[in-house]
Amino acid sequence: MHVPARVIRPQLHWVASSPLPTRHGEFTAHVFLDQAGEGTGKEHLALVFGDVDGAKAIPVRVHSECMTSEVFGSLKCDCKEQLDYAMAEVARAGRGAVVYLRQEGRGIGLTNKIRAYDLQARGHDTVDANRLLGLPDDARKYDIAADILEFLGVRSIHLLTNNPEKVEALRSLGVEVVGRQPVIIAPNPYSAGYLDTKRRRMAHKLPRLSTPSLSLVDTLAVDESRPSAGDAE
């Protein structure tokens, strides 16, 4: 059945919803079309578990797109495992949401992220690679996430994140963040330096990590039954 779009604000429209069975349980997927500025045509997603309308202090993950890890299994970052963990956590809590924002590469887009990866392959860390490209360390915005949460009727949240700046950004947009829940993923040999840079240079609340042995790569490559970080928690 086709339901007409609902205008959230002039350039952000709710456009579709459907049940979405996942390996973490049955969510409802809501799609929001962003027609503003550079975001023209971007489709953002909210995966909702249980009844969140009017809910307080529910777990919410505001996640930024990472095609390289989420689609292709890149080991350079922790994004896919964080997403899996968040979905499992929301389902475990019985209600909550994952807001999936299409701001690839901390908002610089896929092309620039791959350019940054090329610089990282030449020895630069994730922050310096962006700077060498003349780009901000983090170009993301969270106004759409705030609007989506308001649209869903969510009253207050526990934000699943290690990034205190994300908490502050959402608060400054009027989201009542009553707590922060860490999303700590064990490093692999390719992500350890990246995670350490996030801890040292981006103020992420991450533990000091020791670099795991390279033999873990072989394990990751051959063991398809490996439990996800979410399963391990």
Ligand X SMILES: Nc1nc2c(ncn2[C@@H]2O[C@H](COP(=O)(O)OP(=O)(O)OP(=O)(O)O)[C@@H](O)[C@H]2O)c(=O)[nH]1
Q: Is 26 annotated as a binding residue?
A: no
Given 81, 82, 89, 167, the residue binding ligand X (CB under 6 A): 82
Given 80, 102, 158, 166, the residue binding ligand X (CB under 6 A): 166
Q: Is 200 annotated as a binding residue?
A: no
Q: Residue 191 binds what, of ligand X, Zn ion, none (CB under 5 to 8 Å, by partner type)?
A: none
Active site residue 115: no
Alpha helices, DSSP H only, in 94-178?
109-121, 126-132, 143-152, 164-172
Given 48, 87, 99, 108, the residue binding ligand X (CB under 6 A): 108
Structure tokens at 140: 């993301």
The smaller minimum CB distance to ligand X, of residues 16 and 69, is found at: 69
Q: CB neighbours of 37 closer than 8 A, spacing ≥ 6?
A: none
Q: Where are the beta strands (DSSP E) in the chain?
A: 6-9, 12-22, 25-34, 42-49, 58-64, 96-101, 157-160, 177-181
Q: Please identify which residue in the block is written with the tokens 């307080």.
A: 56
C-alpha neighbours within 13 Å on the C-beta side of residue 16: 10
Given 163, 169, 177, 188, the residue binding ligand X (CB under 6 A): 163
Alpha helices, DSSP H only, in 94-125?
109-121
Active site residue 140: yes
Which residues contact ligand X by CB under 6 A? 64-66, 77, 79, 82, 103-106, 108, 113, 116, 126, 130, 161-163, 166, 183, 198, 204
Mark the binding-site residues for GTP, compressed into ranges.
61-65, 82, 104-106, 126, 161, 166
Q: Give catalytic residues, as residue numbers.
A: 138, 140
